[in-house]
Structure 1
Amino acid sequence: MLHNLRSYDDTTYVHCVNVSLISGIIARWCGLSDAGVQLAILSGVLHDIGKIKIPDEIIKKPGKLTKEECDIVKNHTIEGYNILKDYKNLDENMKYSALMHHERCDGSGYPLGLRASKINVYAKIVAISDVYDAMTSKRCYRGPICPFTVIDIMINEGLAKYDTLFIMNFLRNMGETYLNNSVRLSNGDTGEIVFVDSSHPSKPIIKKDNGDMLSLMENNIKIEEIL
């Protein structure tokens, strides 16, 4: 199945691989068993398999989709479940992850508008991985969004949408993965991330190239780019 997805659209294939890796990392951060981590990885790999049923001209359209086209793309969740449901050797969690990874805990997602208690646990993990990778990856109509901007968006807009355990562990830990990375700031300065406060993961402390220390919690300067 994964081979079919790669043959259909390489961008979607790469996205699925990224989502699987991030899902496994989130599962590990949240203390799931080795079997649970493996299941999170496998759920991520196949979460977008339904896109092979979406018309090629929509998936590969070089620009933003119309509302009608977006509605067609949303069908990939149901299509994915329909592809996987009859495979008896696949764990049910993988099938439900394909169906539910766009559901949100506040009921604002699709295709069923489910709320927290009704959403599969692995779909909740994949949902976070899916959004993070989609936003931080380049698209034909925009460049990649800075990871710290995405973290900030998820803090401000996503806490009600995602499972509390998973999103909080993700936010606390993801920022720390960028420690010692060089960055460009919104004021044009460059420097290195030297500390990430787990309670404010989108606003780390930067050691600027001139040696000065800058806490992003104390001003409106933001990280524009990971160098």
Structure 2
Amino acid sequence: MPLVDRSQLKPGDVVSQDVLTPLGSVLFHKGRVITLRELDILTAFLVPQVNVERAEEPQQSTAEAAASVSVAPAAKSVLHTEYEEMVVQLRRAYALVAGGDALPLLALRTQLERLLSRSAEYRVLSFRPRLASREDFYFHSSVMSALTCYQLAQWTDLPQKDWMQVALAGLLHDIGNVKLDRDILTKPGVLTPGEQEEMKRHTLNGYQLLKPVAALNEGVKLSALQHHERVDGSGYPLGLGSDNIHRYAKLVAIADIFHAMTLERAYRPALSPYVVLEQLEKDAFGSLDPGFVRRFIEKATQFQNGSLVRLSDGRIGEIVFTDRTAPIRPWVSVSGTIVNLTVDRQLYIDECISH
């Protein structure tokens, strides 16, 4: 387990002892595989040396070496394994329903239970799918919405009997998309007025598909119908006001917006989770339930101290303090200097690198 100078590290080296930041937080855990990204982070934090494991390398020619260079993949967590299987199961369910078969709810629920058993490891601001193609956007958005809704159900003090049903509401809220033209769903440009009206029908389609499923409670079915309703009556398909929108649907709306904006789409790149939180905070004044949004922001940012982030000017730093009155704009330590984002309003967190 040699102690290697930062300048001598190579992609593929494996960290053999936790690497700490100057403030004592864990930068990389033991077992982390060094890639070019890790090298950038080590440079930003001025880490001089790292304990690594390095495989013995046979002597080879320069040409052979150039041809054989590869970067070892990052280790996959159990959470990611169960997440990816949930995406596979949901994709399969969509295909079955599109073909006229019944929704395979037992298989979906069984895998969802396996995924939710790892929910303590899920951090809504920093979790990223390992493989998320633009074509699979709705599957990833739905699975992450299920995870987020499961946490929201607990954060907003719903009874435990509701937690799984709220997670199912998040998972199935876009099931009505199976009846839409795929070209509309994946169109990279702006939808025409006619296409927008067609798109809005996924809410009605979803409710009709879920209505006969006895194992789902009414909240799950109404979430498919109401997740685009807004508390001020400006939503669709029925223009309902707050009192007539089911509580599940209000939670699903928050998760749906968050993940729709933080995932890459065919027509735009993924947005920073902190930028999206600011947008949700604005939407809480009229469009979304303000109490639920406030709770979501409070809890989602609660355990971010020690997280590595990239600022909008490209600098990498570590969150060292989160003010409860301004949780979206924490204090970030960059090379020993504290950047207070409540003061430096022109800056924002562009990316959560790790927790």
TM range (shorter): over 0.9
Give the structure-1-normalised TM-score: 0.92
Q: How many Å apart are 1:10 and its aligned residue?
A: 3.1
Aligned twin of 1:215? 340
SS at match of 2:342: helix
**CA distance in 1 between partners of 2:304 and 2:264 (Å):** 19
**CA distance in 1 between partners of 2:336 and 2:308 (Å):** 13
**CA distance in 1 between partners of 2:295 and 2:253 (Å):** 14
**CA distance in 2 between partners of 1:198 and 1:99 (Å):** 34
Aligned twin of 2:266? 140
**2:220 matches 1:94:** yes
Matches within 5 A, 1:134-173: 134-173=260-299
Matches within 5 A, 1:10-29: 10-29=136-155
Q: In structure 2, do the counterparts of structure 1 residues 177 and 132 end up closer, same or farther at CA, with 3 Å as the change threshold?
A: farther
- Larger deviation, residues 60-69 vs 41-50: 60-69
Q: How many Å apart are 1:6 and its aligned residue?
A: 6.0
**CA distance in 2 between partners of 1:19 and 1:73 (Å):** 19
SS at match of 1:13: helix
Q: In structure 2, do the counterparts of structure 1 residues 114 and 211 end up closer, same or farther at CA, with 3 Å as the change threshold?
A: same
Q: How many Å apart are 1:31 and its aligned residue?
A: 1.7
In structure 2, give the amino acid aligned to 1:206.
Answer: V
Q: Is the 8 A contact 1:196 1:204 kept in 2?
A: yes
**CA distance in 2 between partners of 1:132 and 1:31 (Å):** 20
**CA distance in 1 between partners of 2:224 and 2:209 (Å):** 10
What does the per-residue CA deviation read over 1:138-193, in whole Å, with 9 as the maximum and x for residues that have no partner? 11211110001001111123332222331110011112343322222223322111
In structure 2, give the amino acid aligned to 1:147.
Answer: P
Segments of 5+ residues of structure 2 without an aligned counterpart are 1-88, 99-134
What does the per-residue CA deviation read over 1:86-139, in whole Å, with 9 as the maximum and x for residues that have no partner? 222321111101000010111111101101000011001100000000000011
**2:314 matches 1:188:** yes
The structure with more radius of gyration: 2
Q: Which has the larger helix fraction?
A: 1
* Percentage identity across paired residues of the two chains: 37
**2:263 matches 1:174:** no
What does the per-residue CA deviation read over 1:66-101, in whole Å, with 9 as the maximum and x for residues that have no partner? 332122111100010111112223211111010000
**2:237 matches 1:111:** yes
SS at match of 1:167: helix
Q: In structure 2, do the counterparts of structure 1 residues 10 and 223 end up closer, same or farther at CA, with 3 Å as the change threshold?
A: closer
**CA distance in 1 between partners of 2:327 and 2:266 (Å):** 29
Matches within 5 A, 1:50-69: 50-69=176-195
**2:93 matches 1:4:** yes
In structure 2, give the amino acid aligned to 1:212.
Answer: T
Q: In structure 2, do the counterparts of structure 1 residues 113 and 225 end up closer, same or farther at CA, with 3 Å as the change threshold?
A: same
Q: How many Å apart are 1:194 and its aligned residue?
A: 1.7
**2:161 matches 1:35:** yes
Report the RMSD for the aligned CA atoms in angstroms: 1.8
Q: How many Å apart are 1:59 and its aligned residue?
A: 1.1
SS at match of 1:202: coil
SS at match of 2:309: strand
**CA distance in 2 between partners of 1:53 and 1:161 (Å):** 27
Count the aligned residue pairs.
226
Q: How many Å apart are 1:11 and its aligned residue?
A: 2.4
In structure 1, give the amino acid aligned to 2:137.
Answer: T
Give the structure-2-normalised TM-score: 0.60
SS at match of 1:178: coil
What does the per-residue CA deviation read over 1:183-218, in whole Å, with 9 as the maximum and x for residues that have no partner? 22223322111222232122111011x111121111
**CA distance in 1 between partners of 2:284 and 2:294 (Å):** 10
Segments of 5+ residues of structure 1 without an aligned counterpart are none
Q: Is the 8 A contact 1:124 1:163 kept in 2?
A: yes
In structure 1, give the amino acid aligned to 2:177.
Answer: K
